[in-house]
């Protein structure tokens, strides 16, 4: 074959090979990709269905596999955290939410669950720090301020909690939760009279707020107005019959009024609801025998 003809045939062969690569290779690659996406979709749907059905233990390995395949997906991290929460796997739940914070376009959605998870782990400082991070992310969110204040209370950082509630209330004057929190911390760190006035305002604004009536009852008790304190606490118990804090304060007030049957009933109910409640058990055991009323 003449040299020029060999070059022509070789050129045709190169073009043929290139044409095959361009036409066939994408099809093969696309087919594999589509197959992988289809498998992921099926895995995702099965995981979601199991979670919806409350079958968390079965959903866990599937969701973990999805997370490993898509480690930057905040959707799978959120689901993974939710599964760990339902299974009571608190360290894993906290770790999943911490990872969620790093990749999610809406990181504040990790709260308040992350802070509550640290509380369940007994890590109160980590819980407070988590809620502080929430408030940093959303400085205008009244819930963030409220949860931070409550976390500070649990750490007995009463002055800090009072400052948190006060600042939050300045931004959100209609928030009953923040008003009640400020009244409670004022009672603990300041004036009973001032706390009572704040609590009265909270009750006026939100008559069905159990916490507002609880703090009002506590403030009235501190002022020595036992009859009105008892009335407010009874209203609170009517609104929420099994609220442990209300029952505990009501039991103590009944003791002050020498109403031993009422005190026993309050402490006894607490122990029915929470058998391990040490304070109620101690108060009940310390009551005198016999009734004075």
Nearest to 235 by CA among 249, 248, 246, 221: 246
Answer for the pair 46, 79: CB distance below 8 angstroms, yes or no. Answer: no
Q: Which residue has the tokens 């992310």?
A: 137
Instruction: Look up residue 110 and give its DSSP letter.
Output: G
Report yes or no on 83 lying in a domain.
yes
* pLDDT at residue number 36: 59
218 located within any domain: no
Contact 32, 62 (CB under 8 A): no
Question: Is residue 127 a part of any domain in this protein?
Answer: yes
What helix, strand, coil percent values describe the chain, rounded to 5?
Answer: 80, 0, 20
Structural domain of 84: 45-103
Final residue before a domain boundary, out of 103, 126, 152: 103
Distance CA 78, CA 84 (A): 10
Residue 274 belongs to some domain of the structure: no
Say how far apart CA 136 and CA 113 lie, in whole Å: 16
The domain boundary residue, chosen from 173, 206, 226: 173
The Cα 207–Cα 228 span in angstroms is 16
> Which residue, of 152, 173, 194, is where some domain finishes?
173
Q: What is the pLDDT of residue 61?
A: 96
Same domain, 165 and 129: yes
Counting the structural domains of the chain, the total is: 2
Domain-embedded: residue 20: no
pLDDT at residue 293 in the model:
56
| 136 in the same domain as 99 | no
Note the pLDDT of residue 70.
Answer: 94
What is the distance between the alpha carbons of residues 248 and 95, in angstroms, rounded to a whole number? 36
> DSSP state, 141?
-
CA distance 193 to 204: 16
Q: What is the CATH number of the domain that holds 122?
A: 1.25.40.10
At residue 257, what are phi and psi to the nearest 5 degrees? -90, 10
Nearest to 245, CA basis, from 203, 217, 285: 217
Residue 73 is assigned to a structural domain of this protein: yes
What pLDDT was estimated at residue 40? Answer: 80
Could you state, in chain order, the average pLDDT of each consecutive group of 10 residues for the chain (293 residues)? 44 39 38 60 93 97 95 96 98 98 97 97 98 98 98 97 98 97 95 96 97 98 97 98 97 96 97 97 90 58
Other CB atoms within a 10 A radius of the CB of residue 83 amount to 25
> How is residue 266 written in tokens?
């309050």
pTM over 0.85: no
Q: What is the mean pLDDT of the chain?
A: 89
Whether 176 and 205 have beta carbons less than 8 Å apart is answered as: yes
Q: Is the dihedral of CA 112, 114, 117, 123 positive or negative?
A: negative
Contact between residue 168 and residue 142 where contact means Cβ atoms under 8 Å apart? yes
Whole-number Å distance between alpha carbons of 102 and 174: 33
Q: Is residue 90 part of a domain?
A: yes
**108, 78 Cβ separation under 8 angstroms:** no
pLDDT of 41 reads 87
């Amino acid at each position: 074959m003449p040299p020029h003809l060999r070059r022509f045939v070789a050129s045709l062969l190169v073009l043929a090979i290139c044409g095959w690569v361009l036409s066939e290779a994408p099809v093969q690659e696309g087919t594999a990709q589509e197959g992988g996406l289809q498998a992921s979709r099926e895995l995702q749907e099965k995981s979601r269905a199991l979670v919806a059905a409350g079958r968390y233990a079965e959903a866990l390995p599937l969701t973990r596999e999805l997370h490993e395949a898509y480690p930057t997906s905040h959707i799978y991290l959120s689901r993974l955290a939710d599964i760990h929460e339902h299974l009571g796997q608190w360290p894993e739940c906290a770790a999943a939410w911490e990872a969620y914070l790093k990749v999610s376009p809406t990181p504040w959605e990790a709260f308040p669950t992350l802070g509550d998870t640290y509380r369940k782990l007994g890590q109160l400082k980590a819980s407070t720090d988590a809620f502080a991070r929430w408030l940093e992310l959303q400085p205008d969110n009244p819930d963030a301020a409220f949860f931070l204040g409550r976390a500070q209370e649990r750490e007995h950082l009463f002055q800090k909690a009072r400052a948190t509630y006060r600042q939050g209330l300045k931004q959100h004057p209609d928030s009953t939760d923040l008003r009640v929190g400020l009244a409670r911390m004022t009672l603990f760190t300041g004036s009973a009279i001032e706390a009572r006035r704040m609590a009265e305002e909270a009750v006026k604004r939100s008559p069905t707020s159990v916490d507002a009536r609880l703090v009002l009852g506590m403030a009235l008790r501190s002022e020595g107005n036992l009859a009105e304190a008892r009335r407010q606490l009874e209203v609170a118990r009517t609104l929420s019959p099994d609220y442990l804090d209300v029952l505990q304060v009501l039991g103590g007030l009944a003791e002050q009024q020498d109403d031993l049957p009422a005190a026993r009933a309050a402490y006894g109910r607490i122990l029915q609801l929470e058998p391990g409640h040490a304070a109620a058990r101690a108060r009940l055991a310390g009551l005198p025998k016999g009734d004075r009323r």
